[in-house]
Amino acid sequence: MVRKASSSAFATMDLFNSAAIANLTAARSSLIGQREHLDRQIAAINQALAAFGAHVPAAPAAPAARAAGPQRGGRRGGGGRGVRPGSLKDYIHRVLAGGGVMAVKDIAAGVVKAGFKSKNKTLAKSVGIALAKMPGVKRVGRGKFRAA
């Protein structure tokens, strides 16, 4: 026989959850305030060191605040992170930096000529797919691209 929980048990649980949420929120706010205070102190010390001509090592970046809510998509698109040096997109940018409108097959040939190492038998297709996703590239016609 299954026993039903009383409504007072649910009320007690809700009260406990509300208190826990309030405590965690307060603790988080306190830590954020401490981080801001520490950042100001570190900046002041860095200025003092720089005034004396001392080398100031780069401070590790604070962790980026994540947006609340579900993540969009399941893939890592690299939005806003730039192009990784040595990647296919890096070589494409190098080839397109010469200016002018180029066909996908010419861009693929330029990527190989620039020194990109690949065993990909369909490199031109991979280049075309990468071009379509690159923010610094403008499509000007069917299979024709230029640097934006």
Cα–Cα distance for residue pair 29/21, rounded to 1 Å: 12
Q: How many residues does the chain have?
A: 148
Q: How far apart are CA 16 and CA 11, in angstroms?
A: 9
CA–CA distances in Å: residue 142 to residues 98, 101, 102, 104, 130: 20, 11, 11, 9, 15
User: What does the block give as tokens for 147?
Assistant: 């640097």
User: Digits of tens for pLDDT over the chain (148 positions)?
Assistant: 566 656 666 667 677 777 778 788 777 777 777 887 777 787 778 777 777 777 766 656 555 555 554 544 444 444 556 778 889 999 999 999 888 899 999 999 999 999 999 999 999 999 999 999 898 899 999 989 998 8
pTM: 0.47
